[in-house]
Structure 1
Amino acid sequence: MVQESKNIGVSPTIRAATNGDVRKSGDDLDPQLTDTWRTICAGLRRDLGAQIFGQWIKPIKLSRFDSATGELQVILPSEFAANWVRERYSERLTLAWKSHSGDVKTIIFSAKAGSARIAEVKKSNAAAIQDNMAPKSLPGSSGSFRLELDPRMTFDEFIAGHSNVLALNASQRMASAEKPLFSPLYLQSSTGQGKTHLMHAIGHAYRAEFPDAKIIYMSAERFMIEFVSAMRRNEAMEFKAALREADLLMIDDIQFIVGKNSTQEEFLHTVDSLISRGKRVVVAADRPPQALDGVDQRLLSRLSMGLVADIQSAGLELRRDILQHRIASLPHQDVPADVVEFLARTISRNLRELEGGLNKLLAYSQLTGRPITKELAEEQLSDILSACRRRITIDEIQRTVCEYYRLDRNEMSSKRRARAVARPRQVAMYLAKVMTPRSYPEIGRKFGGRDHSTVIHAVKLVEQLRGEDTEMDNDVRMLLRQLES
């Protein structure tokens, strides 16, 4: 159980989920409560996207509500799902309930009856995952704000690549003993590329460097709710004072602060106060400052005056490294190399989906005893894969290969067997098999009506050459990167 978070008045412990369907247990639930949940779900679907919402939030079912204590119990299909939702979305859910219904004070996340028995059968491996996934928090507070940092989100656990090296270096500098050259640090990327990880890592490193420092980390949504609540309680001055005592202030998802004039005004004054006293400010958003609609120009100016560090979408190499690092951190996990490669190539939209897909696959294998194979991944991750897979055509592959090797496009269908022509053609056949769902006969027809056996030979030959010839492997990697970008 996670201890109750004092500043938001809601326990982050949640054990279940629903899409607005309500499962009654004990006393009937108030219809207003179910309507509120539907409203919350509509907002979460919009904010998280249909894919993540459908996988983790939609299965939630409301179970019981105790009006005397304000405790709401929700149910998830399994302990794994309950732990996952608790870890990833507990704060978002508790804040949503708090903003929509003052009756709900505590949320309890539970697993569906019977799921514990299944987990017990596989408890040896499952325990390793649960221990690694269990949400933990660092003790300590800044003013009236409890600091909660994910122990796994450190700089040591952040996998660096070409797409995120600027943001990583800037974050490390922000957390170091040296005075940073810039403040605020503005981390910008699309969903699931590592912004939140870097903010937690800054918090960990800064606390290690300055154990007595006052650190505040919260989402923009929570900032708004806490500010409004403080005003209603006539405690606005105390709220402002607590914020401005911070040595390090970090606000995530700043895009959600749009359109709130009083909140923006307070945030602006807080940023000004901290920067003028040499304190450190870090914000993160899914778009650059200039693209934040409905934000006061003065606040945009402050957010832009430091360093805006953009995190690009992770490339294939980085996605592969992240999967291998994750697997290495779990004992007794056997994930074949072809499965790692398959996941890295197909789940490319964001890193959160990539890790979520791997975790889902690991959990299913442990709970059913089925070995992890590419076929199992395709079966169990079909929803994620279909949403992520970009439709690459054979025509696109042929065009890219011809440009790379400086060949005329007609050579893909010609009868010429000169090595300078035949080898690129074989590479194109290999890529067509790897990157499209087309069969060998279908691929053969796109290459001048060649027999399927010719395509099979080309695929096997290129696979062999990649293991023997570094130059060939580099060529294929470069082509894959171009086609996936």
Structure 2
Amino acid sequence: MKPLEIYRGMSVVQNSGQENDRLVTIAGAQPDDEPELQSRLNDAWLNICSGLRRDLGAQIYGQWIKPIKLTAFDPAQGSLSLSLPSEFAANWVRERYADRLALAWKIQFSDVKSINFAAKAGAARIAQVKEQKIAEPVPPFTVAQNGKFRLDLDARMTFDEFIAGHSNVLALNAAQRMADAEKPLFSPLYLQSSTGQGKTHLMHAIGHAYRNEFPGARIIYMSAERFMIEFVSAMRRNEAMEFKAALREADLLMIDDIQFIVGKNSTQEEFLHTVDSLISQGKRVVVAADRPPQALDGVDQRLLSRLSMGLVADIQSAGLELRRDILQHRLAGLPHQDVPADVVEFLARTISRNLRELEGGLNKLLAYAQLTGRPISRELAEEQLSDILSACRRRITIDEIQRTVCEYYRLDRNEMSSKRRARAVARPRQVAMYLAKVMTPRSYPEIGRKFGGRDHSTVIHAVKLVEQLRGEDTEMDNDVRMLLRQLES
């Protein structure tokens, strides 16, 4: 059997025969079928890891999902065995992520019917988790024998997959310049945004593009927390000099979530010297954080000065148009998924806190529809994404909607509850009902009661009519868009 490619999180490395590398054993498979099954399992695992990293975030993913290894699969029983570094890690993942992993496997590789979690042979039991963080033994900072750093980059996070908008165009252009063959005019590049707005995507994209431009380049990408763990671990092994040398030989150094380096004096000192060394050599440095450099409490002023001396590129919260474009781009890669336009619009308008939640909500909706056979609809989205939606919705009231619609159409507020059926009155009332359904969690009967005690069927008719008119009448669509902007502002 030829060596199997094992997917470790986002990276793909050839099995080297080392003790920690485990082949996926295919129980009862014919020799001719085994390589195909292994390939399908690996492809599915790569896709699952990619989705989980987006949904859970880099920190949680790195602690709990990335260490998982595929160990065995029994096609007859549909049983997949996964191993983790310790009994503690196996129990933790089983208790908290078993359902999520089972669902992901059913979507990506329907032959998997059940999942077993176990510690790898000889793993020690970890007794405690200090400060709610994993207490697993930290693997040494590793450099491959050819001198290149082992680089974990998400295959999907490229510049081609990054959707540009007004909120992120500066950061995107700066990131592309950082990866160009021509030396950039600035270093370091400091990417700043709140959680889930795309800064990690840009760092992965820089890594991909720079590696393509300079195939032999030394590239390091890690979180600030990982940097601290690796540094402390190297000191304990009396390998601090080797660790420092490896960092300072990098052609491109990227450190994510730099805000977590605060308060660690020795680590800050080492990071400062590393940045100084790389910049003096004309090397490239990229850091990312959820706040500007000046707002990093507990950071040495010299380090703040270095981080601010390049370009600070701010990524603002994604606007409605960008959120809509991201969903449409995602669905364009899934041609067999039937998602109505009103559902896309609903998700784009409602899930507004960050883009990770937006894509996670879409993935959850697609997975549920596929597993249950239910068609995707606005009602299904509201039902299955209630937890995300309730956290994201701004509490717009029906009274606020009625007031805004009356001001826009220059109507008396009482017309929202009147029995008049003249088109000049009825159409704005229908628009207000539509907006009430789109922008509030109220049911059809509840909305009807706020419009003069109308029956829920009247509200349903109004919502469907306005949806239809928006697709047929440009003026109506413009009116609704204008009202939505006013209410959302």
Normalising by structure 1, report the TM-score: 0.70
CA contact (8 A) 2:178 2:284 kept: yes
1:232 is aligned, of 233, 236, 250, to: 236
1:255 aligns with 2:256: no
- Are 1:428 and 2:462 matched, yes or no? no
Deviation at 1:229, TM superposition (A): 0.9
- 8 Å CA contact 1:348, 1:388 repeated in 2: yes
Once the two structures are superposed, residues 42-97 of structure 1 have per-residue CA deviations (whole angstroms, 9 ceiling, x without a partner) of: xxxxxx79xx99xx99xx9xx98887x9995743234444799xxxxxxxxx9x89
- The residue type paired with residue 174 of structure 1 is M
Comparing 430-439 with 176-185, which one deviates more in the overlay? 430-439
Residue 153 to residue 335, structure 1, CA distance change in 2 (3 Å): same
* Paired position in structure 2 for 1:469: 473
Shift of 1:246: 1.4
State the secondary structure of the residue aligned to 1:392.
Answer: coil
What residue identity is the alignment partner of 1:152? R
Distance 1:80 1:305 in 2: 46
Q: CA deviation at 1:410?
A: 7.2
Match of 1:262, SS?
A: helix
TM-score normalised by L of structure 2 = 0.69
Query: How much identity, in percent, do the aligned residues show?
Result: 84
Letter in 2 for 1:256: F
* One-letter amino acid matched to 2:264: K
**Alignment partner of 1:201 is 2:185:** no
Residues 320 and 71 of structure 1: is their aligned pair in 2 closer, same or farther, counting only changes over 3 Å? closer
Contact 1:192/1:351 (8 A) holds in 2: yes
1:101 aligned onto 2:101: no
Query: Deviation of residue 320 (structure 1)?
Result: 2.1
Matches within 5 A, 1:52-91: 72=90, 74-75=93-94, 76-77=98-99, 78-81=101-104
Deviation at 1:225, TM superposition (A): 0.5
The CA deviation at 1:242 is: 1.3
1:465 to partner: Cα distance:
3.4
Pick closer, same or farther for the CA change 1:422–1:289 going to 2, 3 Å: farther
Task: Name which of 305, 311, 336 aligns with 2:340.
Answer: 336
Q: Do 1:182 and 1:307's aligned partners in 2 also have CA atoms closer than 8 Å?
A: yes
1:483 is aligned to 487
Structure 2: which amino acid aligns with 1:101? A
Residue 362 of structure 1: SS of its match in structure 2?
helix
Decide whether aligned partners of structure 1 residues 463 and 366 sit closer, same or farther in structure 2, where only a CA change above 3 A counts: closer
Task: Note the residue ranges of structure 1 that are not aligned, 5 or more in a row.
Answer: 16-47, 85-93, 107-138
Q: Show the 5 A alignment for 1:278-357.
A: 278-357=282-361
Does the 8 A contact of 2:404 with 2:483 survive in 1? yes
Q: Aligned equivalents of 1:196 and 1:12: distance in 2?
A: 28
Task: For 1:166, give the aligned amino acid.
Answer: L
Q: Find 2:7's aligned residue among 2, 5, 10.
A: 2
Moved more, 183-192 or 221-230: 183-192
Name 2:35's counterpart in structure 1.
none
Q: Does 1:147 align with 2:151?
A: yes
User: Among residues 193, 214, 221, which one is paired with 1:217 in the alignment?
Assistant: 221
Q: Distance in 1 between matches of 2:133 and 2:387?
A: 32
Asked if 2 retains the 8 angstrom alpha-carbon contact of 1:142 and 1:246, the reply is no
In structure 2, the CA distance between the partners of 1:266 and 1:144, relative to structure 1 (3 Å rule), is farther
Q: What is the Cα deviation at residue 210 of structure 1?
A: 1.5
Q: Which residue of 1 aligns with 2:362?
A: 358
Which residue identity is paired with 1:302? Answer: R
Q: CA 1:468/1:270 → structure 2, altered by over 3 Å: closer, same or farther?
A: same
2:45 alignment counterpart: none
State the match for 2:395 in structure 1.
Answer: 391
Deviation at 1:458, TM superposition (A): 5.1
| Distance change in 2, residues 1:461/1:191 (3 Å) | same
Alignment CA distance shift 1:368-1:253 (3 Å): same
Alignment deviations for residues 368-410 of structure 1 (CA, whole Å, 9 cap, x no partner)? 3333333333333232222223321123324444565677867
1:314 partner amino acid:
A
Q: Which residue of 2 aligns with 1:27?
A: none
Instruction: Compute the displacement of 1:424 (Å).
Output: 4.9
| Residues 72, 104 of structure 1: 8 Å contact kept | no
Q: CA deviation at 1:103?
A: 5.3
Cα deviation code 1:413-446 (max 9, x no counterpart): 7899998877655533331232123355654554
Residue aligned with 1:379, SS:
helix
SS of the equivalent of 1:352 reads helix
The reply to whether residue 192 of structure 1 matches residue 196 of structure 2 is yes
Distance 1:10 1:318 in 2: 46
In the alignment, the residues of structure 2 paired with residue 351 and residue 12 of structure 1 have an alpha-carbon distance, to the nearest angstrom, of 35
Instruction: Report how many aligned residue pairs link the two structures.
Output: 400
- Maintained 8 Å contact 1:149/1:200: yes
Distance 2:19 2:486 in 1: 48
* 1:439–1:370 distance in 2 versus 1, CA, 3 Å: closer
Aligned to 1:178: 182
Measured after TM superposition, the shift of residue 160 of structure 1 is 1.4
Q: Distance in 2 between matches of 1:381 and 1:260?
A: 39
Q: Deviations over 1:235-288 (max 9, x none)?
A: 212211111111111111111111101111111111122222222111111112
Secondary structure (helix, strand or coil) at the match of 2:7 reads coil
Task: Please say which of residues 293-302 and 249-258 is displaced more in the overlay.
Answer: 293-302
The structural deviation recorded for 1:162 is: 1.9
Q: Does structure 2 retain, via aligned residues, the 8 Å contact 1:142–1:215?
A: no
Counterpart-to-counterpart distance in 2, 1:215 and 1:191: 24
- RMSD over aligned Cα, in angstroms? 4.2
- Residue type of the alignment partner of 1:2: Y
The correspondence of residues 5-44 of structure 1 with structure 2, limited to 5 A, is: none
2:221 is aligned with what amino acid?
Answer: Y
2:383 counterpart of 1:379:
yes
Does the 8 A contact of 1:243 with 1:270 survive in 2? Answer: yes
The Cα of 1:201 is off from its aligned counterpart by: 0.5
Q: Which residue of 2 aligns with 1:276?
A: 280
Change (3 A) 1:182 1:235: same
What pairs up with 1:431-450 in 2 under 5 angstroms?
431-439=435-443, 442-443=446-447, 446=450, 449=452
Any conservation in 1 of the 2:149–2:218 contact (CA below 8 Å)? no
State the distance in 1 between where 2:393 and 2:163 align.
Answer: 23
Amino acid at match of 2:476: M
CA 1:10 to 1:159, structure 2 compared with 1: closer, same or farther past 3 Å? farther
Stretches of structure 2 that go unaligned for 5 or more consecutive residues are 1-5, 25-55, 69-81, 108-125
Aligned in 2, Cα 1:218/1:421: closer, same or farther, shift over 3 Å? same
Of the three residues 159, 165, 169, the one matched with 2:169 is 165
In 2, the alpha carbon distance for the partners of 1:323 and 1:343 equals 9
- Equivalent residue, structure 1, for 2:115: none
